Amino acid sequence: MRVLVTGGTGYIGSTAVDILISQGYEISILDDCSMGHADSVPAGVSFIKGSLLNAGDLAQALVGVDAVMHFAGKSLVGESVEKPDLYHQVNVNGSRNLLDQMHMSGVTKLVFSSSAATYGEPKVVPIVETAPTHPTNPYGATKLAIDQMITAESASRGIAAASLRYFNVAGALKSTRGWLAERHNPETHLIPNVLRSTAENPVKIFGSDWPTADGTCIRDYVHVVDLIDAHIKALESLQMGVHEIYNLGSGDGYSVREVVAAASKATGYEIPTIDSPRRAGDPAVLIADINKAKTKLGWRPTRDIETMVADTLASFS
Ligand code: UDP
């Protein structure tokens, strides 16, 4: 099976490319390299440096393709608050173009990178897929709009689709070409920031007065390799005319201070931190209910928070 990986040079997309190849899939990549890095493309893989906003690039990328894994898009919550139009243009319009070009090319299988940000501030945790969706930022709103577009598409044009709602993705994969790591500048994610913390520039803890046991936010972290394992299981279980939504997390929550403690253990020294004001748009607690992915996909995350921290640390070297 040939899979088009949009966003295949980014952190999660490049990990998917590597694992798909190791499992015998043929790969095409479409990426504009606005966030990713062309040097992560494995030798011999068909790579189109192009945009979801360009119909010609999409048509070219879809030649000979059986299924699409759609990772491409803008993904920073803070940036989305500053540039909502850009997020709508790239994420929503780009995905609309992808669906139209898939239809024209006769490609009917789609696995989409959605997000827990579609739920917004949950009333009940763990969060189930049927929970209300009230995104609290433009990023989450674009992911929800795309999920709804895919639901409509599966009904009207009969495509087979899955939206995977990621909680907090962490860790890294060591490929034959080295570690496929997060390379954001500036980095906004907790685990890389904790591991880069120094006495002169300590990691900021965004709020220590949240209604949680230690006062810091709780998130559900999932290793990127487990995450891609779920994508492949989702791909292999697609059904025509059906759009399934699955949460991907570990089903467990870790506070910011617990992540710092895991990082102190991995590094062997006390990570310096500084208590700072809350970050705008942060919900207090986000934990996934992953029973649907467990039952319907036969998926189970196997890598714990210590492994995620250790692999992220190793990926810096
Ligand atoms: N966080 C923090 N300091 C940082 C980065 C993040 O305290 O330098 C907190 C953030 O407020 C949130 C959690 O860590 O509660 C995870 O944030 P991240 O940006 O990694 O992922 P998000 O949950 O926003 O997708």
**Phi then psi dihedrals of residue 110, to 5 deg:** -145, 130
Per-residue confidence band for 317, with pLDDT thresholds at 50, 70 and 90 = confident
CATH number of 177-219+251-316: 3.90.25.10
Q: How confident is the model at residue 194 (pLDDT cuts 50, 70, 90)?
A: very high
**Stretch(es) of the chain classified as CATH 3.90.25.10:** 177-219+251-316
Q: What is the pLDDT of residue 150?
A: 98
Contact 28, 45 (CB under 8 A): yes
Tell me, what's the pLDDT at 85?
98
Our answer on whether the CB atom of 193 is closer than 6 Å to any ligand 1 atom is yes
Q: Identify the pLDDT of residue 77.
A: 86
State residue 78's pLDDT score: 84
CA 65–ligand 1 middle distance (angstroms): 37
Q: Is the pLDDT of residue 38 over 90?
A: no
Does ligand 1 lie within 6 Å of residue 204's CB atom?
yes
pLDDT at 187: 85
287, pLDDT greater than 80: yes
Q: Tell me which of 190, 285, 312 to substitute to probe ligand 1's pocket, judged by most ligand atoms within 8 Å of the beta carbon.
A: 190
Catalytic, out of 87, 139, 166, 246: 139
201 has a pLDDT exceeding 90: yes
Q: Mutation test of ligand 1: which of 182, 256, 278 has the most ligand atoms closer than 8 Å to its C-beta?
A: 256
- Clarify whether 87 is annotated catalytic: no
**Which class does domain 2-170+221-248 fall in?**
alpha beta
CA distance 281 to 141: 13
Given a cut of 80, whether residue 183 has pLDDT beyond it is: no
Residue 100 binned pLDDT confidence (cut-offs 50, 70, 90): very high
Residues 72-80 have a mean pLDDT of 92
Phi-psi region of 297 (alpha: psi -120 to 50; beta: other; left: phi over 0): alpha
**What ranges make up the beta strands (E) of the chain?**
2-6, 26-31, 46-49, 67-70, 109-115, 160-166, 168-170, 173-175, 178-180, 203-206, 218-219, 221-223, 243-248, 254-255, 273-276
The size of the chain, in residues, is 317
Is residue 141 within 6 Å of ligand 1 at its C-beta? no
Confidence of residue 257 (pLDDT cuts 50, 70, 90): very high
Q: What digits encode the pLDDT tens for the residues 112-141? A: 999 999 999 899 999 999 999 999 999 999
Average pLDDT, the chain: 95
User: Ligand 1 within 6 A of 205 CB?
Assistant: yes
Whether the Cβ atoms of residue 41 and residue 48 lie closer than 8 Å to each other: no
Outline which parts of the chain fall under CATH 3.40.50.720.
2-170+221-248
- 113-122, 181-190, 301-310: range with lowest mean pLDDT: 181-190
Ligand 1 atom with the shortest distance to the CA of 206: 7
pLDDT value, residue 71: 98
Ligand 1 centroid to 190 CA: how many Å?
5
Does any ligand 1 atom lie closer than 6 A to the CB of residue 20? Answer: no
Residue 83's pLDDT is 96
d(CA 111, CA 41): 20
- Is the per-residue pLDDT at 281 higher than 80? no
